[in-house]
């Protein structure tokens, strides 16, 4: 699957993030774009996949005695090293079925309400992935960039989920091995290249099993949602108030399904559909990136610096030109000015283009990067885009985003494909869905086939009966979480209100729509949900 995460502009002038950012964007999820995990779409192809019959059952409303020590713990807050923020460590059971089998230590950060106005409690934020650091998102965006009136009345809080960033991170490969992995040809042309791709997926999975044996069985979304309930109690809140983006919507919906009576004001922005299989999600996301690329193509040819065609060039022709460029890179990678000697090949270039589909504001930089690569034989711009997607720093070090992403996705659902033969059978469907990206995204969907831990769940509905109104937000041309996923989730959740943003990009809150922002702000501040079906441009 592919990464589902929200990308947001960094609003702090002196970001602590050492990585080079193409559009000064900051990663947020579960969110899903890499060629090693995630899911999404935007196309409107007809699907015959039956809705999942299983329904996520709520947990008992009373706290089990075996968990009382976790719910009753006191956090010791300390300085984070970031002005205005404080940090703490929370304990949760490694295995909720066996609370005495050991703990997992979870990193928490907060920025206290600034006032004026009555304090409304805590507002937990999660950027998606899975694997995106919620604490980085809080410190670099939400805690300084959310509307002032929201930050005035809520303690802004984040917790890196188990296995992510500061919370006992899952590790799989060393940095050099990850460099090799990201450059693996994901559009194999013959048996030898197919064998190499399969071996790359296998080595990645084996590395995770060898380096993270303790956590790998306990990084599911359900366990992360249960951790959130402990945090709610420890913070002294009777209900959980939450804004989750991308994969964070699945985490938030899961919380509501498990603890409907404790769900407060929940915003699920860029919603996922829990009823879908991994294969269908990946096919949907392939359609989503094709939809986003069509929008980019139409815009590109209207600009004077578009290297893929001029006025009158159709989106299909733009796609043909890009595909031809990818084929050239497959045969002859080009220099990228990289200190570690990496050259820009098809795999890294494709990731760079896909990364820019998440945010319309990145389109000018993508045109510039493509122009440099196609006309000047300089792949530096596309490499920067790709590195920002993978969270590879200028020092050559990777965050654990990709490792945690695969660990959660492969535990949450059975693999999209179990064998290379299954991928080959599905190639026509993926290539029809996206002539540019389909083949690569199909082969990327093989990533969980060799996972050392068996998936623990299946597709299911989340109804959260008895929960307070939940706002589900969908963007009509979202490349990573297709709009129809938001429609589906809003039909499942018994108290959902669907809020639609008619636009481009991944997620909607804080992207410049006054209508979206004012609607969500009113809900968070006054508890007033929008009418179901409200649309914003």
> CA neighbours within 13 Å on the CB side: how many for 53?
0
Average pLDDT rounded to a whole number, residues 130-141? 97
pLDDT of residue 281: 96
Long-range contacts from 174-178, C-beta under 8 angstroms, 24+ separation: 175/396, 175/397, 175/398, 177/203, 177/207, 178/390, 178/392, 178/398, 178/402
Is the pLDDT assigned to residue 99 strictly greater than 70?
Answer: yes
- Number of C-beta neighbours around residue 428 at 10 A: 12
Binned at pLDDT 50, 70 and 90, residue 52 comes out as low
Is the pLDDT assigned to residue 13 strictly greater than 60?
Answer: no
Binned at pLDDT 50, 70 and 90, residue 6 comes out as low
Q: What percent of the chain has pLDDT over 70?
A: 90
Query: What sign has the CA pseudo-torsion 172, 176, 180, 183?
Result: positive
Active site residue 246: yes
Average pLDDT rounded to a whole number, residues 217-236? 98
pLDDT digits (tens, 9 = 90+) for 363-417: 999 999 999 999 999 999 999 999 999 999 999 999 999 999 999 999 999 999 9
State the catalytic residue, choosing from 181, 201, 460, 506.
506
What is the rounded CA–CA span in Å between residue 382 and residue 345?
Answer: 10
pLDDT of residue 53: 77
Residue 103: left if φ>0, alpha if ψ -120 to 50, beta else—which one?
beta
pLDDT digits (tens, 9 = 90+) for 352-365: 999 999 999 999 99
Is the pLDDT assigned to residue 21 strictly greater than 80?
Answer: no
Average pLDDT rounded to a whole number, residues 90-105? 96
Active site residue 506: yes
What is the rounded CA–CA span in Å between residue 118 and residue 264?
Answer: 17
Binned at pLDDT 50, 70 and 90, residue 47 comes out as very low
345-369 residues labelled b (16+ CB within 10 A) or e (exposed): bbbbbbbbbbbbbbbbbbbebbbeb
State the catalytic residue, choosing from 246, 278, 426, 488.
246
Closest to 290 measured CA to CA, from 333, 330, 322: 322
Assigned token pair, 288: 């989503």
pLDDT digits (tens, 9 = 90+) for 154-183: 999 999 999 999 999 999 999 999 999 999
State the catalytic residue, choosing from 179, 229, 237, 478.
478
Helix or strand run (H / E) with residue 351: helix 346-356
Question: What residue has token string 């956090």?
Answer: 75
Is the pLDDT assigned to residue 133 strictly greater than 50?
Answer: yes
3-state secondary structure of 125: strand
Q: Work out the mean pLDDT of the chain and round it to a whole number.
A: 91
Helix or strand run (H / E) with residue 247: helix 247-258
């Amino acid at each position: 699957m592919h990464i589902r995460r929200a990308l947001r502009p960094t609003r702090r002038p002196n970001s602590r993030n050492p990585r080079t950012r193409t559009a000064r964007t900051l990663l947020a999820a579960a969110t899903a774009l890499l060629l090693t995990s995630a899911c999404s779409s935007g196309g409107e192809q007809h699907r015959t996949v039956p809705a999942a019959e299983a329904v996520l059952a709520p947990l008992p409303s009373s706290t089990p005695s075996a968990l009382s020590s976790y719910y009753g713990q006191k956090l010791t807050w300390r300085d984070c090293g970031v002005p205005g923020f404080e940090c703490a460590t929370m304990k949760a059971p490694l295995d909720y079925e066996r609370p005495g089998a050991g703990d997992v230590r979870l990193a928490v950060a907060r920025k206290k309400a600034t006032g004026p106005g009555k304090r409304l409690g805590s507002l937990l934020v999660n950027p998606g992935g899975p694997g995106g650091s919620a604490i980085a998102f809080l410190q670099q965006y939400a805690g300084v960039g959310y509307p002032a009136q929201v930050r005035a009345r809520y303690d802004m809080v984040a917790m890196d989920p188990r296995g992510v960033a500061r919370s006992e991170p899952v590790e799989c490969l060393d940095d050099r091995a990850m460099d090799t992995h990201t450059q693996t040809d994901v559009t194999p042309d013959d048996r030898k290249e197919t064998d190499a791709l399969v071996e790359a997926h296998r080595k990645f999975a084996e590395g995770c099993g060898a380096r993270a044996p303790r956590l790998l069985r306990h990084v599911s979304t359900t366990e992360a949602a249960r951790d959130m309930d402990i945090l709610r109690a420890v913070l002294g809140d009777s209900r959980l108030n939450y804004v989750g983006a991308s994969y964070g919507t699945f985490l938030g919906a899961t919380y509501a399904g498990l603890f409907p009576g404790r769900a407060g004001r929940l915003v699920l922005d860029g919603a996922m559909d829990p009823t879908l299989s991994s294969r269908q999600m990946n096919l949907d996301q392939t359609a989503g990136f094709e939809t986003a690329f069509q929008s980019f193509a139409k815009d590109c040819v209207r600009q004077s610096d578009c290297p893929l065609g001029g006025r009158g060039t159709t989106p299909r022709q733009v796609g043909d030109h890009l595909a031809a460029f990818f084929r050239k890179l497959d045969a002859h990678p080009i220099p990228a000015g990289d200190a570690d000697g990496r050259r820009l090949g098809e795999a890294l270039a494709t990731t760079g283009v896909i990364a820019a589909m998440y945010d319309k504001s990145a389109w000018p930089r993508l045109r510039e990067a493509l122009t440099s690569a196609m006309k000047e034989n300089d792949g530096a711009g596309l490499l920067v885009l790709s590195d920002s997607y993978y969270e590879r720093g200028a020092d050559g070090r990777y965050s654990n985003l990709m490792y945690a992403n695969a660990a959660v996705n492969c535990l949450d659902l059975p693999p999209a494909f179990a064998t290379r033969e299954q991928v080959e059978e599905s190639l026509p469907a993926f290539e029809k869905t996206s002539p540019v990206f389909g083949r690569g995204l199909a082969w990327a969907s093989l990533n969980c086939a060799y996972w050392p831990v068996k998936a623990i769940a299946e597709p299911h509905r989340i109804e959260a009966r008895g929960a307070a109104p939940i706002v589900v937000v969908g963007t009509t041309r979202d490349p990573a979480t297709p709009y129809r996923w938001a429609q589906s989730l809003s039909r499942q959740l018994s108290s959902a209100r669907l809020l639609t943003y008619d636009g481009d990009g991944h997620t909607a809150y804080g992207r410049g729509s006054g209508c979206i922002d004012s609607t969500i702000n009113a809900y968070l501040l006054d508890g007033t949900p929008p009418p179901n079906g409200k649309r914003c441009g």
